[in-house]
C-alpha cells in the first residue's frame, strides 16, 4: 500500500473557509496520469495538483493540474496554491524577501514570485501567457436563457460576449448589475445546446457593481465541461478578465492597470484576486499578472494499492 501525502489549502483568501480549495500532492513520482485523474475525482475539488521533477533542470518543478473531469493546461489558483505549499514546506529556495519560481505546466513555463512576511509565504503572483482574443458570441438571448436572465441584463452593458484566453479560453459575459449576477441559475440543458461544443465552454460572468470595498469587479464562473458547476475563484480567467477590461476601456487606460476581482460570494467562499495588466504606449498588452494570498487548512494522505 502506497501513501500519497497532500496539503489542503484555501487559495485567494487570507482566512479559513474562503477562496478556492486546493489539494497539492508534493511527491508525485511514478503516479500515472490515469491515477492523477482518479485522485482528482476522489478529492472532488475544483482542482488538484501533482508536483514532479522538472523536465528541464533550469526550471524548479513540473506541475500537473486536474479537475474532477479533465487535465488543464494551466490554471490560476492551482499555480498560486502549489507555489505557496512549495515555499511553506521549504521545497523551494528562499532568496531574501522575494522568491522566484519557474513551473513547467502544459501551457509552457509559468513564472511565479513569492513575497515573504514573518518568514512565511504571503502574497504570490503568477505571470500568465499573453492574451488571445477569440470570437464574439452573437446571440445574447441564448446566453441569457442559459443563465435564466432576460437578455437586457447583458445588452444594457453595450459590451461584447467575447472569448479571451491566457492559456485556457473563457467566454466573458458582462452583466448590468449585482441583482442580475445574483439571480443566475445556470441551465445545463441550454448550456449543452449553445456552448458544450463551442471553443470556450467555460462561462465567466462579471459586473462592475461590487459588494466589498476595495474590489473593482464582481465575478462568477461556471464550467460544466470540467465537472465544476461553479468555481469560487478562477485565477486562469482573471488574467483574461483584466485583458478584456483593458481592451474595451471599461477601466481607465493606464500603463499598469490594476484591479481586484471579488468572486465566490454567492457560494459563501469570498475570494479576492489581484490583477495587473501592463500595456505599452500603443495600449498593447505586454504582461498579465494574477496574484493573491493563501490559507493552509490541513494535510493528509491517500492509501493506494500498487
Confidence of residue 94 (pLDDT cuts 50, 70, 90): low
Q: What is the pLDDT of residue 306?
A: 78
Q: What is the pLDDT of residue 17?
A: 97
Q: What is the pLDDT of residue 261?
A: 98
Contact 80/124 with Cβ under 8 angstroms?
yes
Question: Is residue 93 predicted with pLDDT exceeding 80?
Answer: no
**Mean pLDDT across 98-125:** 94
Distance, in Å, from the CA atom of 149 to the CA atom of 152, rounded to the nearest integer, reads 8
Contact 63/221 with Cβ under 8 angstroms?
no
Q: Do domains 2-127+293-304 and 132-291 have the same CATH topology?
A: yes
Question: Is residue 15 predicted with pLDDT exceeding 80?
Answer: yes
Which pLDDT tens digit goes with each residue over 62-74? 999 999 999 999 9
All three cell numbers of 142: 441564448
**Which secondary-structure segment (H or E) carries 190?**
helix 188-194
CA nearest to 219, candidates 175, 252, 250, 188: 175
Question: Is residue 92 predicted with pLDDT exceeding 80?
Answer: no
Which pLDDT tens digit goes with each residue over 121-163? 999 999 999 999 999 999 999 999 999 999 999 999 999 999 9
Q: What's the pTM value of the predicted model, to 2 decimals?
A: 0.94
Enter the DSSP assignment of 264: -
Residue 262 main-chain phi, psi, to 5 deg: -95, 130
Q: What is the pLDDT of residue 95?
A: 61
Distance, in Å, from the CA atom of 205 to the CA atom of 187, rounded to the nearest integer, reads 14
Residues near 282 by beta carbon (within 8 Å), at least 6 away in sequence: none
Query: For the residues of 123-185, what is the DSSP string, one character each?
Result: EEEEEEPPPEEEEEP--HHHHHHHTTS-THHHHTT----EEEESSSEEEEEE-S-HHHHHT--
Residue 127 main-chain phi, psi, to 5 deg: -100, 120
For domain 132-291, which architecture applies?
Answer: Roll (3.10)
Contact 48/64 with Cβ under 8 angstroms?
no
Question: Is residue 24 predicted with pLDDT exceeding 80?
Answer: yes
Q: What are the sequence ranges of the domains in the chain?
A: 2-127+293-304, 132-291
All three cell numbers of 127: 505571470
Give percent above pLDDT 70 in the chain.
Answer: 99
Question: Is residue 175 predicted with pLDDT exceeding 80?
Answer: yes
Residue 224 main-chain phi, psi, to 5 deg: -60, -30
**Mean pLDDT across 193-210:** 96
**Mean pLDDT across 21-33:** 96
Which 3 state secondary structure label does DSSP give 187? coil
Q: What is the pLDDT of residue 97?
A: 80
CA 180-186-187 angle, 5° bins: 130
Q: What is the pLDDT of residue 90?
A: 84
Q: What is the pLDDT of residue 305?
A: 87
Other CB atoms within a 10 A radius of the CB of residue 126 amount to: 26
CA 54-116-277 angle, 5° bins: 75
CATH class name, domain 2-127+293-304: alpha beta
**Annotated catalytic sites, by residue?**
47
Question: 3-state SS of 204-237?
Answer: EEEECCCCCCCCCEEEEEEEHHHCEEEECCCHHH
| Mean pLDDT score across all residues of the chain | 96
Amino acid at each position: 500500500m502506497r501513501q500519497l501525502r497532500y496539503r489542503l489549502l484555501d487559495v485567494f483568501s487570507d482566512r479559513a473557509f474562503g477562496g478556492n480549495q486546493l489539494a497539492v500532492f508534493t511527491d508525485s513520482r511514478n503516479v500515472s496520469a490515469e491515477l492523477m485523474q482518479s485522485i482528482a475525482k476522489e478529492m472532488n475539488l475544483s482542482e488538484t495538483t501533482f508536483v514532479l521533477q522538472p523536465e528541464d533542470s533550469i526550471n524548479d518543478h513540473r506541475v500537473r493540474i486536474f479537475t474532477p473531469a479533465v487535465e488543464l493546461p494551466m490554471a490560476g489558483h492551482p499555480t498560486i496554491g502549489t507555489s505557496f505549499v512549495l515555499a511553506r514546506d521549504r521545497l523551494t529556495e528562499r532568496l531574501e524577501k522575494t522568491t522566484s519560481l519557474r513551473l513547467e505546466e502544459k501551457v509552457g513555463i509559468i513564472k511565479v514570485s513569492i513575497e515573504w512576511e514573518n518568514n512565511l509565504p504571503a502574497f504570490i503572483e503568477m505571470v500568465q501567457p499573453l492574451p488571445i482574443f477569440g470570437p464574439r458570441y452573437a446571440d445574447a438571448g441564448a446566453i441569457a436563457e442559459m443563465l435564466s436572465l432576460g437578455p437586457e441584463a447583458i445588452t444594457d452593458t453595450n459590451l461584447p460576449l467575447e472569448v479571451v484566453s491566457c492559456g485556457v479560453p473563457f467566454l466573458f459575459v458582462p452583466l448590468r448589475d449585482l441583482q442580475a449576477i445574483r439571480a443566475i441559475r445556470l441551465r445545463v440543458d441550454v448550456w449543452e445546446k449553445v456552448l458544450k461544443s463551442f471553443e470556450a465552454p467555460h462561462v465567466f460572468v462579471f459586473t462592475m457593481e461590487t459588494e466589498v470595498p476595495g474590489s473593482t469587479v464582481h465575478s462568477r464562473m461556471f464550467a460544466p465541461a470540467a465537472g465544476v458547476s461553479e468555481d469560487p475563484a478562477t485565477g486562469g480567467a482573471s488574467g483574461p478578465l483584466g485583458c478584456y477590461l483593458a481592451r474595451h476601456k471599461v477601466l481607465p487606460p493606464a500603463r499598469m492597470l490594476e484591479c481586484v476581482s471579488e468572486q465566490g460570494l454567492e457560494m459563501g467562499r469570498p475570494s479576492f484576486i489581484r490583477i495587473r495588466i501592463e500595456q505599452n504606449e500603443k495600449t498593447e498588452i505586454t504582461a498579465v499578472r494574477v496574484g493573491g494570498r493563501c490559507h493552509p487548512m490541513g494535510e493528509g494522505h491517500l492509501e493506494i494499492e500498487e
